[in-house]
């Protein structure tokens, strides 16, 4: 690559490592926090201890007294690396709950498939430390269509991991999962949905939630909520669209408010979290207030503003943006190395590289890179060429777009 000819690779990487370490120290984190190589909690050693801790950890849904702001589960997005990154740039107390990517119960029960599927439940030690120090709860999201598999998988998750809750995906509209009768297909199959919830409830003492939609082909808030509000659940996360809508149209928060009214009548102990089209923290608060939900879950909003859970922060400088991208690369590299496709990272580049002079060109260059080191070097050259570290604050600040 042409960049290698201009600056020595080793020299650049050495500089970069110093910079990342400086950032860690500036963030007030122990350098060891950055050792994200570990995977789950050591299995045998901690099993009894974890069970005890789980029992003591209570029910965060029921205990919540103010709107809970939640980062949505997103496949190939909200892995341990990205969750950690978001936590590190959020204001303490604003982000309250995070979710794993949806994880197949069939896969977890399959002796050969399990190790690959289990990657979705990975919580690195450094993420674990942040969860603890920032008091952020983490929920494992699962999906499938067989109640027995739910029972087995959830028992396994409860015993082997350390999550604060279990969530059943009854909302994903993607064709191949719906064709199996899973996820949003369950909205039209109350008997199976009931069996699945009962099997899951029986398998764990952890708080239980369902993430779902307003209906399959048409809005059926009343029928579906009446059913869910009669189940042993602690929370319902309601995306204000039908399965048929996928991500089209606008999220219908009026229907979410209808679900809240039904809840008030039928099951006041169950929390209702609204989801759909939230663009900022202030927007989330306003929606919760207007529609009386117990919180808001935010998905795609994080793509346009990874600092979304840090309201009121000063404008983000270009070098801060790019250093955050470098941090993301490092977290992804240390957690996954080459075990995941590097291409997964491409969707993130636009998040950080936008809204400043030269962004389009840098983005185009980043779309060509195929390794962590190429990406680090490309970003670092841009930083050096633009003398960003030394520029005046007025020149380097940008507004979030
Ligand atoms: C890339 C992507 C992946 C997603 N993966 C999941 C998932 O694993 N589980 C889930 O329940 N929802 C998933 N969703 C849906 C989101 O959690 C959320 O319900 C939806 O995006 C609407 O919220 P938003 O308007 O804030 O994005 C995904 C959405 C996106 C964009």
Q: Which of 3-12, 103-112, 378-387 has the highest average model confidence (pLDDT)? A: 103-112
Between 88-97, 258-267, 295-304, 388-397, the lowest mean confidence (pLDDT) is in 388-397
Spacing, Cα 171 to ligand 1 middle (Å)? 9
Ligand 1 atom having least distance to the Cα of 167 = 11
Nearby residues of 188 by Cβ (< 8 Å), 6 or more positions away? 216
| Residue that wins the pLDDT comparison between 204 and 18 | 204
Number of C-alpha atoms within 13 angstroms, CB side, residue 127?
A: 32
DSSP string, 191-245: HHHHHHHHHHHHH-SS-EEEEEEEESSS--HHHHHHHHTTSS-SEEEEEEEETTT
In this structure, the residue with its CA closest to atom 29 of ligand 1 is 74
- Tell me if residue 172 is catalytic: yes
| Residue with tokens 């600040």, as numbered in its chain | 397
Cβ of 335 below 6 Å from ligand 1: no
Q: Terminus-to-terminus CA distance in the chain, angstroms?
A: 32
Q: Is the dihedral of CA 199, 202, 204, 209 positive or negative?
A: positive
CB 165 within 8 A of CB 60: yes
Q: What percent of the chain has pLDDT over 90?
A: 81
Question: Does the pLDDT value for residue 190 go beyond 80?
Answer: yes
CB 108 within 8 A of CB 117: yes
Query: How confident is the model over 329-359, as pLDDT tens digits?
Result: 999 999 999 999 999 999 999 999 999 999 9
CB 18 within 8 A of CB 330: no
Q: Is the dihedral of CA 342, 348, 350, 352 positive or negative?
A: negative
Question: Does the pLDDT value for residue 19 go beyond 60?
Answer: no
CB 196 within 8 A of CB 186: yes
Query: How confident is the model over 22-67, as pLDDT tens digits?
Result: 544 444 443 333 333 333 434 434 444 444 554 556 899 999 999 9
Between 22-26, 143-147, 319-323, 362-366, the lowest mean confidence (pLDDT) is in 22-26
For residue 298, report the phi and psi dihedrals to the nearest 5 degrees.
-120, 125
**pLDDT at 58 (0 to 100):** 86
In this structure, the residue with its CA closest to atom 19 of ligand 1 is 239
Within 10 angstroms of residue 359's Cβ, the number of other Cβ atoms is: 19
Ligand 1 pocket, mutate which of 69, 74, 245 (most atoms under 8 A from CB): 74
Ligand 1 atom having least distance to the Cα of 278 = 26
In this structure, the residue with its CA closest to atom 31 of ligand 1 is 300
CB 230 within 8 A of CB 190: no
172, 183, 288, 390: the catalytic one is: 172
In this structure, the residue with its CA closest to atom 28 of ligand 1 is 74
Q: Is the dihedral of CA 224, 229, 232, 237 positive or negative?
A: positive
Which helix (H) or strand (E) segment holds residue 55: the answer is helix 43-56
Cβ of 271 below 6 Å from ligand 1: no
Nearby residues of 363 by Cβ (< 8 Å), 6 or more positions away? 349, 350, 353, 354
Structure confidence at residue 393 as a pLDDT band (50, 70, 90) = very low
Q: Is 292 helix (H, G, I), strand (E, B) or coil?
A: coil
Could you give the angle at the alpha carbon of 142 between the alpha carbons of 137 and 144, nearest 5°?
170
For residue 97, report the phi and psi dihedrals to the nearest 5 degrees.
-145, 140
CB 139 within 8 A of CB 209: yes
Q: If you average pLDDT over every residue of the chain, what do you get?
A: 87
Spacing, Cα 51 to ligand 1 middle (Å)? 30
Between 31-40, 142-151, 251-260, 302-311, the lowest mean confidence (pLDDT) is in 31-40
Length of the chain in terms of residues written = 401
**Span 133-157, mean pLDDT?**
98
For residue 292, report the phi and psi dihedrals to the nearest 5 degrees.
60, 35
| Residue that wins the pLDDT comparison between 396 and 50 | 50
**pLDDT at 22 (0 to 100):** 52
What domains can be seen in the chain, in order of their start residue?
Answer: 2-34+315-396 (no CATH), 43-304 (3.20.20.70)
Spacing, Cα 325 to ligand 1 middle (Å)? 22
Number of C-alpha atoms within 13 angstroms, CB side, residue 143?
A: 26
**pLDDT at 31 (0 to 100):** 38
In this structure, the residue with its CA closest to atom 13 of ligand 1 is 74
């Amino acid at each position: 690559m042409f960049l290698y000819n201009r600056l020595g690779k080793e020299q650049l990487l050495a500089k970069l490592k110093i910079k990342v370490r400086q950032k860690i120290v500036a963030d007030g984190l122990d350098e060891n926090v950055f050792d994200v190589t570990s995977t789950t909690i050591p299995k045998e050693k901690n099993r009894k201890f974890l069970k005890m801790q789980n029992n003591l950890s209570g029910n965060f849904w029921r205990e919540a007294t103010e709107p809970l702001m939640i980062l949505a589960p997103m496949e190939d997005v909200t892995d341990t690396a990205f969750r950690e990154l978001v936590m590190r740039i959020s204001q303490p107390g604003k982000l309250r709950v995070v979710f794993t990517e949806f994880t197949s119960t069939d896969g977890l029960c399959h002796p050969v498939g399990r190790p690959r599927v289990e990657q979705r439940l990975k919580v690195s030690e450094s993420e674990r430390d942040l969860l603890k120090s920032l008091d952020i709860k983490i929920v494992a999201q699962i999906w499938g269509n067989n109640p027995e598999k739910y029972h087995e998988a959830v028992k396994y998750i409860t015993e082997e991991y350390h999550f604060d809750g279990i969530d059943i995906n009854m909302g994903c509209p993607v064709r191949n999962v719906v064709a199996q009768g899973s996820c949003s297909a369950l909205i039209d199959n109350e008997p199976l949905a009931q069996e699945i919830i009962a099997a899951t409830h029986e398998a764990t003492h952890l708080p239980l939630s369902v993430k779902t939609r307003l209906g399959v082909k048409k809005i059926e808030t009343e029928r579906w909520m009446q059913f869910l509000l009669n189940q042993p659940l602690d929370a319902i996360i309601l995306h204000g669209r039908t399965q048929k809508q996928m991500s089209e149209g606008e999220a219908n928060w009026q229907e979410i408010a209808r679900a809240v009214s039904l809840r008030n009548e039928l099951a006041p102990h169950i929390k209702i979290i609204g989801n759909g089209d939230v663009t900022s923290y202030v927007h989330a608060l306003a929606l919760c207030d207007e529609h009386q939900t117990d919180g808001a879950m935010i998905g795609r909003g994080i793509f346009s503003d990874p600092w979304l859970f840090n309201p009121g922060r000063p404008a983000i400088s270009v070098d801060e943006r790019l250093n955050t991208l470098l941090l993301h690369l490092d977290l992804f590299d240390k957690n996954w190395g080459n075990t995941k496709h590097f291409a997964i990272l491409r969707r993130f580049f636009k998040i950080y590289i936008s809204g400043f002079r030269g962004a389009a060109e840098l983005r185009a260059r980043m779309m060509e890179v195929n390794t962590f080191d190429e990406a680090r070097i490309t970003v670092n050259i841009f930083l050096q060429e633009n003398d960003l570290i030394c520029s005046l604050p007025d020149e380097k600040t940008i507004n979030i777009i």
